[in-house]
């Protein structure tokens, strides 16, 4: 299968995302004869072969949905071999490095392959990713995953310590990404890897001291347009709020908006007493209804509308949200 090109039917060997809920998903590789245990009971892999991505699959105690894998879904379901970059940071990296089909990108280190999948999706079908990992086992596992996911033709995986040995390539890359404990050590080699007409560089560091040393080295190597960013998600809980309509007098509300009752208010003086009595009765009714609504003031009333109230949407920040992940430092190298 191909992570970056959709298909319709699930086949043996495909990677499938099993969706049981917003925060409950699992990635499996379909193999005949195997069984996957879920909260709704056992799921036989053979039951998935031949059905469509997006179909519901019935389990003994419920159902799940089969999703086609994407880089975003893989990021939240991949087996963690290292700390990874998530979609918020990945989106900023992709934009700032100006990745597009045909771009040549150098990455170090590979880690769990979260960013690598997103880069490949951005640069295919004629671009290429050179990714370097100093840990031999992680490099081998990443290469195996790229093969299974059908994107190996867009990536070259190398087991190499770029801090001590450099990248070993020169004048090939449009962009370089560094996720290293000492990125400033690899910067001279990263500069050589960029094309002679220049390119963009990004370094991910969790500590501000790493950022400071990296910026000093970038300036020394004649990189320009240095900028450091932090990208965080701020979640809001959307609610529907109901408030009572203001009482502005006996002819407000329903009477003011009803043409028939407007005519009644303008009747001859001979009917004035009758009109006044009718208006007073309606006003008393409005006040009675407002008393009932007041007990629900500032509460979520989705689907519970009242004649004497109005509803509006309100966003409330979540009480707990993910915090700092790391700093992204970007720089530009102009043509030499």
Nearest to 145 by CA among 243, 69, 230, 35: 69
Instruction: Please measure the distance between the N-terminal and C-terminal CA atoms of the chain and give it in whole angstroms.
Output: 42
In a domain, 10, yes or no: no
**Using 50, 70 and 90 to split pLDDT, how confident is the model at 173?**
very high
115 shares its domain with 48 = no
Residue 251: predicted pLDDT: 63
In a domain, 8, yes or no: no
- Residue found under tokens 């319709």: 8
Question: What's the whole-model pTM score?
Answer: 0.78
205 shares its domain with 246 = no
159 shares its domain with 28 = no
**Distance (Å, whole) CA 120 – CA 125:** 9
113 shares its domain with 151 = yes
Give the range of the structural domain holding residue 109, as residue numbers without chain letter: 74-233+324-333
- Residue found under tokens 């009595």: 277
138 shares its domain with 249 = no
**Using 50, 70 and 90 to split pLDDT, how confident is the model at 219?**
very high
Q: How many domains is the chain partitioned into structurally?
A: 3
Annotated binding site: 112-115, 133, 179
- pLDDT tens digits, one per residue of 52-104: 999 999 999 999 999 999 999 999 999 999 999 999 999 999 999 999 999 99
**Distance (Å, whole) CA 234 – CA 323:** 10
141 shares its domain with 257 = no
192 shares its domain with 141 = yes
- pLDDT tens digits, one per residue of 150-159: 999 999 999 9
Is residue 27's pLDDT more than 50?
A: yes
In a domain, 44, yes or no: yes
Asked which of 24, 44, 69 is the last residue of a domain, the reply is: 69
Residue 254: predicted pLDDT: 52
Annotated binding site for S-adenosyl-L-methionine: 112-115, 133, 179
Which secondary-structure segment (H or E) carries 124? none
- pLDDT tens digits, one per residue of 191-216: 999 999 999 999 999 999 999 999 99
210 shares its domain with 299 = no
CA 194 from chain center: how many Å?
Answer: 30
């Amino acid at each position: 299968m191909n992570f970056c090109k959709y298909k319709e039917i699930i086949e043996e060997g495909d990677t499938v995302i099993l969706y049981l809920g917003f925060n409950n998903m699992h990635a499996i590789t379909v193999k005949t004869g195997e069984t996957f245990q879920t909260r709704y009971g056992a799921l036989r892999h053979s039951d998935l072969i031949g059905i469509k991505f997006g179909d519901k699959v019935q389990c003994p105690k419920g159902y799940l949905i089969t999703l086609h894998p994407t880089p975003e879904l893989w990021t939240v379901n991949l087996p963690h071999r290292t700390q990874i970059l998530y979609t918020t940071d990945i989106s900023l990296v992709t934009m700032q490095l100006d990745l597009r089909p045909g771009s040549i990108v150098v990455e170090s280190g590979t880690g769990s392959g979260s960013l690598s999948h997103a880069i490949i999706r951005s640069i295919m079908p004629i671009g290429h990713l050179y990714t370097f990992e100093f840990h031999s086992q992680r490099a081998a596992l990443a290469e195996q995953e790229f093969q299974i996911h059908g994107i190996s033709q867009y990536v070259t995986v190398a087991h190499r310590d770029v801090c001590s040995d450099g990248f070993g390539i020169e004048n090939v890359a449009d962009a370089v990404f560094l996720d290293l404990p000492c990125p400033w050590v690899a910067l001279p080699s990263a500069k050589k890897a960029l094309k002679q007409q220049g390119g963009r560089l990004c370094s991910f560091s969790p500590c501000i001291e790493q950022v400071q040393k990296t910026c000093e080295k970038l300036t020394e190597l004649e990189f320009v347009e240095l900028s450091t960013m932090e990208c965080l998600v701020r979640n809001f809980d959307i609610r529907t709020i109901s408030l009572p309509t203001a009482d502005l007098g006996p002819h407000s509300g329903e009477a003011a908006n009803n043409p028939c009752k407007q005519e009644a208010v303008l009747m001859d003086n001979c009917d004035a007493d009758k009109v006044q009595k009718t208006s007073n009765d309606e006003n008393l009714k409005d006040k009675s209804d407002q008393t009932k609504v007041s007990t629900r003031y500032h509460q979520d009333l989705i689907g519970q509308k009242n004649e004497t109230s109005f509803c509006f949407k309100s966003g409330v920040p979540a009480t707990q949200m993910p915090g700092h992940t790391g700093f992204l430092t970007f720089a530009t190298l102009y043509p030499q």
